[in-house]
């Protein structure tokens, strides 16, 4: 909850990826709040009241996942809606803006994004979903200490740079510091 709040406030892409990680963690714990409390919540260095809030937050996530019937796979609807918002902003920057920095980052990442879409087998996948899915897969490979080629690392760097720029613009727009393109 605490980490999620900070990520939501500062970096929308990291927030989405963090929520995907929590969904997988909840699934891995078989939706058992006691296991989540023992393995995660207890490790937070927070006052007891905050730990109760964190526990309630996990309980709410568990309930939402069950209500939305995503026990096996898929993402919470509010996370999908945020991803759609980010995707719409991305499209606005590509088609309606003179933001040369964003365009440069996009064209550097575009072949790698297309490769992710092609590998996914989902031709209707948005570019942003492909970016986030690729970054999440890269994160999991690193966690599992799998060998990662230099080509993959370089490709993920272009995607990461694009998502960082888009997240920054998203935050600035939400804060009223930047106009929509």
The first and second tokens of residue 70, run together, are: 């995503």
DSSP H helical ranges for 29-149: 33-39, 48-67, 77-96, 100-120, 127-143
At 144 the pLDDT is: 94
* pTM, full prediction: 0.93
Mean pLDDT of 135-149: 95
Mean confidence (pLDDT) of the chain: 95
The first and second tokens of residue 159, run together, are: 């995607």
In the chain, domain spans: 2-67, 77-174
At 124 the pLDDT is: 87
Q: Is 31 left (phi over 0), alpha (psi -120 to 50) or beta?
A: left
At 59 the pLDDT is: 97
Distance (Å, whole) CA 113 – CA 119: 10
């Amino acid at each position: 909850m605490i980490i999620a709040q900070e990520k939501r406030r500062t970096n929308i892409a990291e927030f989405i990826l963090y929520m995907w990680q929590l969904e997988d963690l909840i699934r891995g714990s078989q939706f058992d709040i006691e296991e989540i409390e023992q393995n995660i919540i207890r490790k937070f260095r927070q006052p007891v009241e905050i730990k109760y809030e964190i526990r309630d937050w996990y309980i709410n996530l568990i309930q939402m996942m069950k209500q939305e019937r995503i026990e096996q796979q898929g993402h919470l609807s509010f996370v999908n809606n945020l991803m759609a918002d980010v995707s719409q902003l991305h499209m606005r920057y590509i088609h309606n803006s003179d933001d040369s920095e964003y365009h440069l980052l996009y064209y550097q990442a575009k072949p790698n994004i297309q490769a992710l879409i092609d590998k996914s087998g989902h031709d209707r996948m948005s570019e942003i979903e492909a970016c986030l899915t690729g970054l999440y897969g890269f994160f999991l490979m690193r966690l599992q200490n799998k060998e990662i080629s230099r080509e993959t690392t370089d490709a993920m760097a272009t995607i990461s740079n694009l998502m960082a720029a888009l997240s920054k613009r998203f935050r600035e727009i939400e804060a009223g510091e930047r106009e929509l393109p």
